Amino acid sequence: MARLSNYLLTLLGTFVFTQGTQAYDYLSHARSSSDALMHWYNQGTGVFNGTGWWNSAECITALADMQGIDPTSNFQDTLRNTLEINKNVMTTKSDFYDDEGWWALAWIKAYDLTHDQDYLNTAEQLFDDMAKGWSIDCKGGIWWDKDHTYLNSIANELFLSVAAHLASRTRNIKYLDWAIKEWQWFEQSGLISKNNTVNDGLDGSCRNNGYTVWSYNQGVIVGGLVELSKASFDDSYIVIARDIAWAAIETLTDSNGVLHDSCERGCGGDVSQFKGIFNRNVAQLYTATSDPGLKKFLETNAQSIWKNDRDSQNRLGLKWSGPYDKADASTHSSALMALIAAASVQGS
Ligand SMILES: *[C@@H]1O[C@H](CO)[C@@H](O)[C@H](O)[C@H]1NC(C)=O
Ligand SMILES: *[C@@H]1O[C@H](CO)[C@@H](O)[C@H](O)[C@H]1NC(C)=O
């Protein structure tokens, strides 16, 4: 009897709480959605069905982030399985240097969780391969692709970020040197516009090509600079990161503060991954700045996803303002990153 009434009180309490205050329990939402991501996980290949190679790196990163904020999660075997199956093909399977960067960051995150050297070694191998893409055509920067057709922002931002992350996790000074060298090149390359937004890449004359300001190109550089400031003990990088993050929020959010990329329908399997990467990196900037506006941005987006962009099985679609359309491992893991980002700053 006592048990039953306690149960009823708990039920009633939950009801009043959620109805009365519109409470968002970011952590439990992130937990439900990270479990839902496993719907697409292919145990035999170690990657996620229905999406691309680099997208799987983002799925793995999301699971590792989740494990990091919620020790009751159980994704360590998944991380290990993906590494074991793919570790010998990590560099050969990537035709693009940015793919190597995504995977390197995923394995660095797994290393942070486990301190297992295998993860760090794999990240270092990936970095070394990326460094082979350093170009002389535009006085530096790494190519996007191993065929050397395009010098773009994302590959270089990732190169900077991976270098900065490795600098503080290894004793090898080369990583800090590379991170600084990459930043010095990036800063003068013209990729960052006068508005502090980052365009997609350079044209054949090494000038900003004016191509789309994608959300992920605003995000990876922000996280990279935060990490570089830690590795170099130089706060000036944070100032630049903040300018870029705010320029992106002003440029890419709607009147409700919800993030959009310029294409939200039929834009292929890459664009669907972008936005969560921005939020993930904004959460890193928040931990370095405690800027309340950044926290509000993260919360607004997590709330909108949960309310407007979800099906009954907690699968998450492409358009964070809704309505929910359909989900795959890419749209889902991207939105999941935004839920995790909000959960990670809650209470801080
Ligand atoms: C993934 O795809 C493979 C091959 O089509 C299939 O055998 C497997 O059941 C799928 N797994 C999941 C989790 O969807
Ligand atoms: C800066 O923003 C304005 C207004 O959105 C835009 O018209 C202009 O092209 C941007 N400038 C650069 C260099 O991107």
Under 8 Å between Cβ of 253 and 296: no
Nearest atom (ligand 2) to Cα of 195:
1
| pLDDT cut 90: percent of the chain above it | 90
- Single out the residue of 41, 58, 49, 69 nearest to residue 340, CA to CA: 69
What tokens does 249 get?
Answer: 């929020």
With the most atoms of ligand 2 within 8 angstroms of its CB, the residue from 193, 196, 207, 213 to mutate is 193
The whole-angstrom separation of Cα 282 and Cα 278 is 6
**How many domains does the chain divide into?**
1
List, as one string, the DSSP characters of 147-197.
T----BHHHHHHHHHHHHHHHTTSS-THHHHHHHHHHHHHHHTT-B-TTS-
Tell me which residue has its CA closest to atom 11 in ligand 2.
195
- Give me the pLDDT at residue 22, please: 54
Any idea which ligand is nearest the CA of 192? 2
- Give me the pLDDT at residue 9, please: 44
What tokens does 276 get?
Answer: 């969560």
Q: What angle, 0 to 180 degrees and rounded to 10, lies between the N-to-C axes of helices 329-345 and 268-289?
A: 10
Instruction: Note the pLDDT tens digit of each residue in 241-296.
Output: 999 999 999 999 999 999 999 999 889 999 999 999 999 999 999 999 999 999 99
- Give me the pLDDT at residue 348, please: 80
In a domain, 6, yes or no: yes
| 6 Cβ inside 6 Å of ligand 1 | no
- Using only C-alpha atoms, what is the Rg of the chain? 20
Nearest atom (ligand 1) to Cα of 40:
13
- Single out the residue of 343, 299, 344 nearest to residue 26, CA to CA: 343
| CB-count exposure of residue 346 (10 Å: 0-12, 13-18, 19+) | middle
Type of residue at 258: V
In a domain, 283, yes or no: yes
What tokens does 222 get?
Answer: 């922000």
| Neighbouring-strand partners of residue 202 | 208
| 43 Cβ inside 6 Å of ligand 1 | no
- Give me the pLDDT at residue 14, please: 45
How far from chain centre, in Å, is Cα 152? 18
Which residue range forms the structural domain that includes residue 32? 1-40+253-348
| 49 Cβ inside 6 Å of ligand 1 | yes
The whole-angstrom separation of Cα 191 and Cα 185 is 10
127 has a pLDDT exceeding 80: yes
Which range has the worst mean pLDDT, 265-269, 304-308, 343-347? 265-269
The whole-angstrom separation of Cα 51 and Cα 37 is 12
Give the binding-site residues of ligand 2, using a 6 Å CB cut-off. Answer: 193-195, 197
What confidence tier does 347 reach under pLDDT thresholds 50, 70, 90?
A: confident
The whole-angstrom separation of Cα 54 and Cα 217 is 15
**Mean pLDDT over all residues of the chain?**
94
In a domain, 328, yes or no: yes
| 38 Cβ inside 6 Å of ligand 1 | no
The whole-angstrom separation of Cα 213 and Cα 200 is 6
| 45 Cβ inside 6 Å of ligand 1 | no
Kindly state the DSSP code that residue 202 receives in the 8-state scheme: B
With the most atoms of ligand 2 within 8 angstroms of its CB, the residue from 195, 207, 246 to mutate is 195
In a domain, 348, yes or no: yes
Instruction: Note the pLDDT tens digit of each residue in 4-59.
Output: 444 444 444 444 344 434 568 999 999 999 999 999 999 999 999 999 999 999 99
Helix (H) or strand (E) holding 85: helix 76-86
With the most atoms of ligand 1 within 8 angstroms of its CB, the residue from 35, 38, 42 to mutate is 42
In a domain, 151, yes or no: no
Contacts of 246 (CB under 8 A, 6+ apart): 196, 293
In a domain, 302, yes or no: yes
- CA distance to 38, 139, 230, 260, per residue, from 327 (Å): 13, 42, 36, 16
- Give me the pLDDT at residue 24, please: 84
List, as one string, the DSSP characters of 224-247.
HHHHHHHHHT-THHHHHHHHHHHH
Any idea which ligand is nearest the CA of 199? 2
Instruction: Note the pLDDT tens digit of each residue in 171-220.
Output: 899 999 999 999 999 999 999 999 999 999 999 999 999 999 999 999 99
Q: How far, in Å, is the centroid of ligand 1 from the Cα of 54?
A: 18
In a domain, 341, yes or no: yes
What tokens does 299 get?
Answer: 């919360």
Give the number of other CB atoms < 10 A from CB of residue 300. Answer: 18
Tell me which residue has its CA closest to atom 7 in ligand 1.
42
Under 8 Å between Cβ of 163 and 175: yes
Tell me which residue has its CA closest to atom 2 in ligand 2.
195
In a domain, 89, yes or no: no
